[in-house]
Amino acid sequence: MSGLARRLGLSLLGPVLAVLVALVISAVVIALIGEDPIEAFRVMVDLGDSPSQQVQSIVVVLNRAVPLFLAGLAVAVAFRMGLFNIGVEGQYRMATILAAAAGAAVALPGPLHVLLVVVVAMVVGAVWAGIVGVLKVTRGVSEVISSIMLNFIALGLASFLLTGPLRGSPPGASIVTTSEIPESGRVPSLNGLLTALGLAAPRSGLYGFLVVAVVVGVVVAVLLQRTRFGFDLRATGLSPSAATASGVDARGMVVKTMLISGGIAGLIGLPDLLGSQYDYGTEFTAGLGFLGIAVALLGRSTPVGIALAALLFAFLDRAALPLQFADIPSSVVTIIQGTIVLAVVIANEIARRLALRSAERAGASAGPGRDAGGDDGAPPPPGPDGGQRVRTGAPGTPEDVQA
């Protein structure tokens, strides 16, 4: 087995085991509430009968996965630095409402209009997250506390803005929204691409924002793994004291990382906003920030892992509706998601210890002439994945996963 395959295998082992364990536990739970687990799983993987239904299901999964992916990235960037940004929820809600208002307020030619919305969202998200960073650096406030508190403020502020100054829906309407973003500010769907590929046209449009998400994912991957800044960031996450001694300005890094994390968080609401909703309202998708934490954990804070995790979560979310049609409580999905996250936390820690032990054995057998000579001739595994500490989202060797 080549080194690459071995490392891939080791880094996948944890999450795959976790998903399997979660499925077993969920099956037991489904059986306990008096439903047939096999039937439930069958319903969940059934994408539909006709080709157009199947394509539609896949589009629904992808459309859900795009914001989840962005949310996971936002959390993961902070994770890799050892920061726990719980405030992604508030950051994207603030960003989305202000971006929606800005998009509705102006009229610009197509691409520029979209760009303006994106920039406003990223700036608002970054500023909201930046508050957390500045508080931590100047006053020593834990980012966990301040970001949770800012979530409440953001939700309250968004409600106020929606019902007050930014209200666009007519008085008395059942759903309160901002004004609609005009055609020029919307991102066209990728359905043309699907039909060009010979697939049946789905009922709803595949978000064009998918492309933006992929680009953001690649940029983040390059930033973290290939740049000096990313090295400083990861070094700080691995060992703040060693990073400081190496010349990293820890305080500056905290603020910069929070700004990046918040900037990405600002994008989370845009796929829905620019792809299907065109306004921010009381019914706008909520909870993506918190799901992002789960997705980042499951994806071990690496862009590729997060993409896979987002797809898995989106796939499970899609199953909620068919489950209800089959008279099975859709909260089964939430139970599976919850158990996956719990199992992944445990599996990651186990995988980390296993990798550490094999690394230590390798090191012991590599150096002859020392007292702690290797007790067996174990072949030295070439840099096994060090697993991931949940606290820091520490990297193993994820760069090879993307390669």
- The residue among 248, 230, 244 whose CA lies nearest residue 301 is 230
Selected binder of another protein within 14, 37, 384, 393 (CB under 8 A): 384
- Quick check: helix, strand or coil at residue 219? helix
Q: Quote the tokens at residue 316.
A: 């499970």
Q: Quote the tokens at residue 144.
A: 């966990």
Binding mask 298-337 for another protein (x = CB under 8 A): ----------------------------------------
142 counts as binding another protein under rule CB under 8 A: no
- Distance in angstroms (rounded) separating the CA atoms of residues 399 and 403: 6
386 counts as binding another protein under rule CB under 8 A: yes
Q: Is the dihedral of CA 176, 154, 264, 309 positive or negative?
A: negative
Inter-helix orientation angle 51-80/303-318, to 10°:
140
Least Å distance, CB 13 to another protein, is 17
User: CB–CB of 300/16 below 8 Å?
Assistant: no
| Cβ-Cβ contacts under 8 Å for 214 (sequence gap 6 or more) | none
- Distance in angstroms (rounded) separating the CA atoms of residues 271 and 63: 8
Pick the piece of the chain touching another protein (CB under 8 A) from 210-218, 286-294, 322-330, 389-397: 389-397
Pick the piece of the chain touching another protein (CB under 8 A) from 35-43, 158-166, 332-340, 378-386: 378-386
107 counts as binding another protein under rule CB under 8 A: no
Which of 66, 260 has the CB closer to another protein?
A: 260
Selected binder of another protein within 28, 31, 156, 226 (CB under 8 A): 226
130 counts as binding another protein under rule CB under 8 A: no
Residue with tokens 């973003």: 181
- Distance in angstroms (rounded) separating the CA atoms of residues 369 and 390: 37
371 counts as binding another protein under rule CB under 8 A: yes
Least Å distance, CB 346 to another protein, is 19
239 counts as binding another protein under rule CB under 8 A: yes
Least Å distance, CB 64 to another protein, is 33
Which of 371, 376 has the CB closer to another protein?
A: 371
Selected binder of another protein within 152, 203, 382, 391 (CB under 8 A): 382
199 counts as binding another protein under rule CB under 8 A: no
Least Å distance, CB 383 to another protein, is 4
- Distance in angstroms (rounded) separating the CA atoms of residues 260 and 300: 19
272 counts as binding another protein under rule CB under 8 A: no
Selected binder of another protein within 82, 230, 271, 292 (CB under 8 A): 230
235 counts as binding another protein under rule CB under 8 A: yes
362 counts as binding another protein under rule CB under 8 A: yes
- The residue among 335, 295, 307, 317 whose CA lies nearest residue 22 is 335
Which of 81, 206 has the CB closer to another protein?
A: 81
- Distance in angstroms (rounded) separating the CA atoms of residues 142 and 84: 9
Which of 106, 223 has the CB closer to another protein?
A: 223
246 counts as binding another protein under rule CB under 8 A: yes
CA 263 from centroid of its chain's CA atoms: 13
- Quick check: helix, strand or coil at residue 390? coil
Q: Quote the tokens at residue 379.
A: 């072949």
401 counts as binding another protein under rule CB under 8 A: no
Selected binder of another protein within 248, 304, 320, 335 (CB under 8 A): 248
- The residue among 347, 387, 354, 350 whose CA lies nearest residue 16 is 347
User: CB–CB of 395/234 below 8 Å?
Assistant: yes
- Distance in angstroms (rounded) separating the CA atoms of residues 40 and 339: 16
Question: By the criterion CB under 8 A, which residues form the site for another protein?
Answer: 3, 225-232, 234-235, 238-239, 241-249, 356, 359-360, 362-364, 366-372, 380, 382-384, 386, 394-397
